[in-house]
Chains A and B, each alone.
Chain A
Amino acid sequence: MRDRVATLGGFAVGFALLFVAWHLAAVYLVHSVLFPPPSPVFWRALDLMDDGILQEQVVASLRRIMQGFLLGSAAGIPLGLAIGSFRPVRVLLEPWTEFFRFIPAVAMITVAVIWFGIGEESKVFLIAYTTIFVIIISTAAGVGAVAKDKLRAAQCLGANRWQLFTLVALPATLPFILTGMRLAMANSFVTIVAAELVASNDGLGKMLWDARLFMQVEDIFVALVTLGLLGFATDRAFRLAIRAFAGRFNPTM
């Protein structure tokens, strides 16, 4: 409990310092309308929330992230397990994963727009795309890292192949899967902004783009700060979930 209070206190001070540094840089170093200090950005954010505009953009972006992320995870976890468990599957699918993971989602935006238009499908496709390879690779690595003695012990206790998989390999791999999901979530934030910048009717990326067109500098900063805070909050939520699931048996998480 005291640890948690100390952690939260540390975060609060860390964020406060960030805003102080921002304020000092804007007021004393830069002196430009192109780099507003925190206070007008903060008031602009309140205005946008009064109108419900900011919330709309946040919901639009988060919904796309969640849909694509869940789709990518749902496909990536079983594929990663199969690649890690069965050599023939690995040999067949590794060229795919090793090929596609070097084509960034940002580069796939054009293709996504041509295929799916500028609606929801293209965004969900891009998030799923950016999620799936990270998760496949970390899941397959997790399967490969299961200690040999864990499997042998289960065999000596009478485990059949199915039990070896579900009761030993899968739970032993879970921390790797969750870590892969956490990395994929960070990728999703990068990708959603890029996708919305290029082709979208709403979302935080669209907000950034419009603000640039109309030179609404405060709006740009509202979007940037919102992205940072959302990413931070999502990552913390993920870490808490990982700790709840796996922390008890893996204190390193």
Chain B
Amino acid sequence: MALVSLEGVGKTFRGKGGSWEAVRDFSLGLEEGEFCCLLGTSGCGKTTVLNMLAGFEPVTAGRILLDGQPVAGPGADRGVVFQGHDSLYDWLNALDNIAFGLRLAGMGKRARREKAGHFLRLVGLAGQEGKHPAELSGGMKQRIQIARALAADPRMLLMDEPFGALDAMTRAALQGELSRIWAETRKTVLFITHDIEEAVALATRIGVMTRGPGGTLKAVVPVDLPFPRERTSDAFMAVFRQVHALIHAEIHPQ
């Protein structure tokens, strides 16, 4: 049985200006240990899918099951890495940010700092434990977010364009690190992006969405390439072209 199954999920927002459909009839299953990228153009509803799976927003159609249980709200079984870094706690240093989930769970100071230290080193921040978010670069803040989510040992990670605001070189470096971390931890990941190269570099499967509003899943492309991935290889380019063609049709419809 799939770890997560989204079955005919839809989301319609109702506001003063009437209602509008963000996601329509979206169905996808996520297997334990896979790295699934959800790729789509701006406004296609991909972040809304993540928000519903995270439990931030209720579905208005269909259902989402995690381990066979319907998702009813946010919980520690789904770790989220946010696009911006205002989710970090400015008043805590890097180590205590990472240890935050362990503190919530009632773990003692010493034990949680030791465990958080492990994840701090895992994301390549050794030596930065005493710094506060205001003193860290954008890339380092995203590393803290990843470590913080992993330290709480969730069933899966939800990542909402976590590298979208970073410069190209930092982004490529963090993509490499994320692949390595995923290989080490084998967490199930749902990763939202609008960057085709990022999706092909990271994913074991890419879900391509139709354009919004009312986006839905258009196709699922398996990416059967070994890690670490060689971005200039023919096999990589072949997958890139295949995904590009799917997305291109959404940007420039006939």
Residues of chain A having any CB pair with chain B under 8 Å: 147, 149-150, 152-159, 163, 167-168, 171-172, 174, 246, 248-251
Chain B contact residues, majority secondary structure: loop
Residues of B within 8 A of A154 (CB): 100, 104
A251 and B82 within 8 A (CB): no
Judge whether A250 and B134 touch: CB under 8 Å. yes
Residues 109-149 of chain B, each 1 if its beta carbon lies under 8 Å from chain A, else 0: 00000000000000000000000111000000000010011
Within the assembled complex, what's the spacing in Å between the Cα atoms of A149 and B56?
10
Give the residues in chain B near A150, CB-CB below 8 Å. 86-89
- Complex Cα–Cα for A234 and B88 (A): 33
The answer on a CB contact under 8 Å between B80 and A249 is no
A172 cross-chain contacts in B, Cβ below 8 A: 89-91
Residues from chain A with a CB closer than 8 A to the CB of B92 are 249
The reply to whether A156 and B74 contact each other, CB–CB distance below 8 Å, is yes
Give the residues in chain B near A149, CB-CB below 8 Å.
Answer: 82, 84, 86-87
Query: 7 A-B Cβ contacts within 8 A?
Result: A147-B87, A152-B87, A153-B82, A156-B79, A157-B76, A171-B89, A246-B91
Interface contact B56-A157, CB-CB below 8 Å: no
Q: How far is the CA of A153 from the CA of B142 in the complex (A)?
A: 13
CB neighbours (8 Å) of B105 from chain A are 158
Name the residue in B73, B89, B154 with the highest tally of chain A Cβ atoms < 10 Å from its Cβ.
B89
In the bound complex, residues from chain A placing their C-beta under 8 Å from that of B149 are 156-157
Partner of B80, one of A153, A158, A171: A153
Contact B133 A249 (CB under 8 A): yes
B interface residues, Cβ below 8 angstroms from A: 54-56, 73-76, 78-80, 82, 84, 86-92, 100-101, 103-105, 132-134, 145, 148-149, 152, 154
- The answer to whether B152 touches A157, judged by C-beta atoms less than 8 angstroms apart, is yes
Instruction: Check if B76 sits within 8 Å of A156, measured CB to CB.
Output: yes
Closest 9 CB pairs of A and B: A158-B76, A157-B101, A149-B87, A249-B90, A155-B74, A147-B86, A153-B87, A249-B91, A156-B80
Beyond A158-B75, A158-B76, A246-B91, is A167–B104 a contact (Cβ under 8 Å)? yes
Determine if A158 and B86 form an interchain contact, defined as CB atoms under 8 angstroms apart. no
A168 contact set on B, CB distance < 8 A: 89
A156 touching B86, Cβ below 8 Å: no
Residue of B nearest to A164 (CB): B104
Q: How far is the CA of A10 from the CA of B212 in the complex (A)?
A: 59
> How far is it, in angstroms, between the C-alpha of A150 and the C-alpha of B88 when the chains are bound?
6
Chain B residues within an 8 Å CB radius of A246: 91
Q: For the complex formed, measure the closest distance between the CB of A155 and the CB atoms of chain B, giving whole angstroms.
A: 4
Alpha-carbon distance between A246 and B89 when the two chains are bound, in angstroms: 12
Closest to A152 in B: B56
Contact partners of B88 in chain A: CB under 8 A? 150, 153
Q: How far is the CB of B88 from chain A (nearest CB, A)?
A: 8
Is the CB–CB distance between A174 and B86 below 8 Å? Answer: no
Contacts of B78 in A (CB 8 A): 156
Choose one: B73, B75, B90, B104; the contact of A163 (CB below 8 Å). Answer: B104
Taking the nearest CB of chain A, how far is it from the CB of B154, in angstroms?
Answer: 8
Cβ of A249: which chain B residues have Cβ within 8 Å of it? 90-92, 132-134
Q: Please measure, in the bound complex, the distance between the C-alpha atom of A168 and the C-alpha atom of B87, giving whole angstroms.
A: 10
CB distance from A143 to the nearest CB of B (A): 15
Residue of A nearest to B102 (CB): A157
Bound: A149/B88 CA distance, A: 8
Residues of A within 8 A of B100 (CB): 154, 157, 167
Q: B134 contacts which chain A residues (CB < 8 A)? A: 248-251
